[in-house]
Amino acid sequence: MGIFATAPAIKNNLFNFLSETIATFFFVFALLNLGDFDKGLKPLVVGLLIMVIGQALGDTTGFALNPARDWSPRLAYTVFPVQINLILIGVMHGYQCAVQLK
């Protein structure tokens, strides 16, 4: 990969898939259960949550939180068979698990 997308630091597909699934699950699950975002310190909580998840699990797969920069190349690499993109599948799996628990 390389053009406008992050690449994993550890070349272990299972570990990268699990890392992205866990990180996305906790992030989406917390966002879904916070409720209304314009009251209290919830924007600060979201920022701290991003920081904690990024520092804990971000180094393994690149910590790409800007979908405008990272989603399109990953989608292109998934559609065009350049390589198997387990990171994208892990993100989608973590999101689906968190939404199902809500």
Return the pLDDT at 37.
73
- Say if 7 falls within a structural domain: no
b vs e for 58-88, b when ≥16 Cβ sit within 10 Å of the residue's Cβ?
A: bebbbbbeeeeebeebbeebbeeeeeebbbb
Q: Averaged over 53-69, what is the pLDDT?
A: 75
- Say if 5 falls within a structural domain: no
Return the pLDDT at 5.
60
Structure token pair of residue 22: 């866990």
- Say if 6 falls within a structural domain: no
List the Cα angle 48/54/57 in 5-degree steps: 135
pLDDT in tens, 18-51: 888 888 888 889 888 887 777 788 888 888 988 8
Structural domains of the chain, count: 1
Residue 58: domain span: 13-101
Residue 39's CB is within 10 A of a number of other CB atoms, namely 9
Q: Averaged over 76-99, what is the pLDDT?
A: 72
- Say if 80 falls within a structural domain: yes
- Say if 91 falls within a structural domain: yes
Q: What is the pTM of this model?
A: 0.62
- Say if 85 falls within a structural domain: yes
Residue 52 has pLDDT above 80, yes or no: yes
